[in-house]
């Protein structure tokens, strides 16, 4: 019979009383203006992101899924984990490939999905408990850059594998990424594992198309960040006064997703005790999405205290795939 999932809430359910305020003060209180991407994932944002993953232009999700379909058994064979932790788990849709492979090997004891989107997480936890009877699902509503100390300890029966899929690591800035990987290594014990999904550098036209899709779904997703501030902090952003500006930053090898003010405007954000004067043409960066090169991933993981064990990609031996999955050992 299914074991009931547990859900621990580490993040204030009332965003306006929690770290959203600090983040908005930091990001919109100084130039250049920016917003941290985690606040994109309210219910509407989570729904829009789910829609993005099914767009014809947005190749990362299906590419990573194909790598998992092909290599989930190899991942399981290459490690000795019995606990799977998933950071930024969302719907945990692709993760089922991995969980299926662990279950077939008789090594699936505990699954710990971690996400800021509480409702999405609760639904995923229920779905997974029903799908894998006997699996202990221990969900954490939290921010993976803040709450790593809350991951459950390893058990006597096996190590932990942290799955960080979807190239979510690409949404962190270089310094944040270094700090995150270091903190993750510190929170794990020698013999624990990291399975990291990373989108790879590729021709610019495909990258731009993936973030500037014909249906406008990505634009709606990015714009929703301002709607979150209007609702949660009583801000008065005029969504119609912004245009969507996604571009490839070749020097940093990342997509840079911005909203540009098409008029001078004065914005009040009472919940953050902030007033903002936007000049004509001034931009707010809402998200970056860094693209990687496999040798640099290995370097960063090594610097953080991981040892790379295996790399799988969709390039079939040709080192020019679209997406890579790296298994590293702490
Ligand atoms: C959260 C990393 C999966 O950066 O590609 C998709 C978020 N933003 N389209 C990405 C996103 C706009 C996405 N990930």
Confidence at 15, pLDDT banded by 50, 70, 90: confident
SS3 206: helix
Q: What is the pLDDT of residue 13?
A: 74
Whole-model pTM: value is: 0.96
Q: What is the pLDDT of residue 1?
A: 58
Give the torsion through C-alpha atoms of 78, 83, 89, 94, to 10 deg.
50
CB 283 within 8 A of CB 34: no
Pocket (CB within 6 angstroms of ligand 1): 52, 60, 166-168, 170-171, 211, 218, 221, 287, 289
Residue pLDDT, tens place only, 60-94: 999 999 999 999 999 999 999 999 999 999 999 99
Residue pLDDT, tens place only, 182-221: 999 999 999 999 999 999 999 999 999 999 999 999 999 9
Q: What is the pLDDT of residue 318?
A: 60
Residue pLDDT, tens place only, 232-291: 999 999 999 999 999 999 999 999 999 999 999 999 999 999 999 999 999 999 999 999
Other beta carbons within 10 Å of 126: 16
Q: What is the pLDDT of residue 268?
A: 98
Cα-only R_g, the chain: 20
pLDDT of 317 over the 70 cut = no
User: What distance in Å separates the CA atoms of residue 221 and residue 35, rounded to the nearest whole number?
Assistant: 13
Cα 127 to ligand 1 centroid, rounded to whole Å: 23
> For residue 105, what is the DSSP state?
T
Cα 67 to ligand 1 centroid, rounded to whole Å: 18
Cα 199 to ligand 1 centroid, rounded to whole Å: 10
pLDDT of 319 over the 70 cut = no
Q: What is the pLDDT of residue 11?
A: 86
Give the mutation target among 289, 290, 292, 323 for probing the ligand 1 site: most ligand atoms within 8 A of CB: 289
Least confident of 15-29, 103-117, 156-170: 15-29
Give the mutation target among 92, 167, 285 for probing the ligand 1 site: most ligand atoms within 8 A of CB: 167
Q: What is the pLDDT of residue 142?
A: 93
Cα 156 to ligand 1 centroid, rounded to whole Å: 36
pLDDT of 18 over the 90 cut = no
The CA angle 58-290-193, to the nearest 5 degrees, is 95
Mean pLDDT (the chain) is: 95
Atom number of ligand 1 nearest to Cα 199: 5
Strand partners, 199: 323
Cα 168 to ligand 1 centroid, rounded to whole Å: 7
SS3 321: coil
Structure tokens, 110 = 């505990």
pLDDT of 9 over the 90 cut = yes
Q: In percent, how much of the chain has pLDDT > 70?
A: 98
Query: CA 215 → CA 160, 166, 174, 262, 289, distances in Å?
Result: 40, 21, 31, 22, 20
């Amino acid at each position: 019979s299914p074991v009931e999932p547990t859900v621990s809430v580490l993040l204030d359910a009332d965003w306006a009383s929690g770290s959203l305020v600090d983040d908005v003060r930091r990001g919109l209180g100084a130039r250049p203006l920016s917003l941290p991407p985690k606040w994109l994932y309210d219910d509407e944002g989570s729904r829009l992101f789910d829609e993005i993953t099914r767009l014809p232009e947005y190749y990362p999700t299906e590419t990573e899924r194909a790598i998992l379909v092909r290599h989930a058994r190899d991942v399981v064979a290459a490690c000795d984990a019995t606990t799977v932790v998933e950071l930024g788990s969302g719907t945990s849709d692709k993760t089922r490939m991995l969980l299926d492979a662990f279950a077939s090997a008789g090594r699936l004891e505990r699954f710990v999905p971690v996400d800021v989107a509480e409702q999405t997480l609760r639904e995923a936890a229920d779905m997974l408990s029903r799908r894998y009877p006997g699996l202990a699902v221990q969900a954490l509503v939290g921010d993976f850059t803040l709450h790593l100390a809350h991951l459950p300890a390893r058990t006597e029966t096996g190590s932990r594998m942290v799955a960080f899929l979807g190239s979510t690591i690409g949404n962190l800035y270089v310094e944040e990424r270094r700090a995150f990987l270091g903190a993750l290594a510190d929170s794990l014990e020698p013999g624990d594992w990291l399975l990291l999904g990373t989108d790879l550098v590729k021709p610019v036209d495909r990258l731009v198309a993936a973030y500037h899709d014909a249906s406008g779904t990505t634009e709606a997703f990015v714009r929703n960040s301002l709607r979150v501030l209007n609702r949660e902090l009583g801000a008065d952003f005029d969504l119609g006064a912004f245009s969507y500006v996604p571009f490839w930053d070749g020097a940093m090898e990342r997509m840079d997703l911005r909203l540009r003010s098409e008029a001078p405007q004065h914005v009040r954000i009472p919940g953050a005790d902030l007033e903002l004067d936007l000049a004509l043409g001034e931009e707010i960066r809402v998200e970056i999405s860094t693209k990687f090169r496999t040798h640099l991933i290995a370097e960063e993981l090594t610097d953080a205290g991981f040892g790379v064990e295996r790399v799988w990609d969709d390039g079939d031996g040709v080192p020019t795939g679209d997406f890579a999955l790296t298994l590293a050992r702490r």
